[in-house]
Amino acid sequence: MSTATDTLIPTNHLFSGGCGDMVGFANAGFRPRFAANHDPAAVATARANFPGVRARQENIHSLDMRRLPEAQVLVGSPICFEASPSGGRATPKTQLSLDDAAGDGETNENSDEEDEKATPAAWSLTRATAWDLLRAAEVAVAARRPYDVIAGENVPGFARWPLFNAWLRAFNDLGYTPHLTSVNAAHLESGEFGNAPQHRHRLLFVFTRKGLPKLDLRPRPLSLCPHCGLVRGTQRWETESRRRVGTYGITYIYVCPNRRCGHLEVKPVLRPIRDSIDWSLPTRKVSAGKPGKTFRAYADETVRKVGLGRARFDGEPFIAVLRNNCTTQSLDEPIGTVTAAGTHHMLVIPGESLGDCRVRMLSVRERARAQTFPDTHYFQGNATEQTRLVGNAVPPTVGSWLAQRIAAVL
């Protein structure tokens, strides 16, 4: 006898991490069947939240792709740290024509303590994980049970990889049409997740089996036009003739779809981080120093940022952003990108003096909310492992948005 799950589209997930893409695809009517990751905490997270999924702990490089269950869709987001601003000093102005890539017709976000630059070995690791997706596709094609769709995300700097064009052409040679789109999680909304209270610029890639209907990956965020009011904005790129890889406000903007106003530039409606804050969590005075058994004063730069925000926000709580070239931000806007380090966003409640200001870093759950994870999603492992899983995850709202568009062509 058939069950409700028999009618859902089956998916396999590589680099499952915090399971953000699994949550998003499941919300959009897909049925995750398989998840793989080298990290025990990631595998435990998959098993805790998706009891019926076959979760395997193994380095993806050595995973025997022949043993994956049959599925219509393969989802996997290769390692992105080396290509991100925090890992590789990638310029947000990176641009690439989709036509060129297919071969056919941000502010620096490092923490206050300098991160290591990406090394050739690190880039090699990123390259290897990208080829693992191709390896999975090739095995499925050879077995005559090809995936209909292969999808994932990465930072825009992923397109800096010298073999990026060759990677896309290899999928083309296997019988897939490549599609790319640049999005900000703060601008996408999908189902129960809404848009993310976090600016997170990503490159989404989808390979559809040739012969499937045309895939529509155009983001249409709810936006405010000064003439027409609320509209669905459309992307306009600096170079109109080609679709490019880039970030919002640098290589593309959104404009009103209506001719009557002359396609004015519009601003997407954003979700504030304020609603994600748990006000019951304890804070401590700046004068008390960092948490720990012995006294450790906060860094001078951190104290300076607390002072700047105290003056700027006139007694209202705010976020001190512990990254280079950043200072403070209001709780009435999205925060900057949540990372695997998870040590960039400090909640500050102003006091009578600078030393009396009460502070704490955002919790794992608050950062998970910024990623649009529901509170019912449980991350396994210790605090450090959970922080990494949250920061590396695909936001569920992005996964769901992508899955809905994929479902339309299946």
Residues that are catalytic: 80
- Distance linking the first and last C-alpha atoms of the chain: 24
Alpha-carbon gap, residue 34 to 13, rounded angstroms: 6
Report the Cα 399 to chain-centroid distance in Å.
Answer: 9
Q: What is the distance between the alpha carbons of residues 390 and 334, in angstroms, rounded to a whole number?
A: 17
d(CA 269, CA 334): 11
Cross-strand partners of 64: none
CA dihedral 13, 15, 18, 20 (to 10 degrees): -50
Q: Which of 60, 61, 65, 53 is nearest to 11 (CA)?
A: 53
Contact 343, 110 (CB under 8 A): no
Q: At what angle do helices 383-392 and 40-49 cross, to 10 degrees?
A: 80
Asked if 111 and 301 count as a contact pair (C-beta separation under 8 A), the reply is no
User: Which residue type sits at 91?
Assistant: T
- Closest C-alpha to 382, from 41, 36, 1: 41
Task: Judge residue 172's burial from the number of C-beta atoms within 10 Å of its C-beta, 0-12 exposed, 13-18 middle, 19 or more buried.
Answer: middle
SS3 at position 11: strand
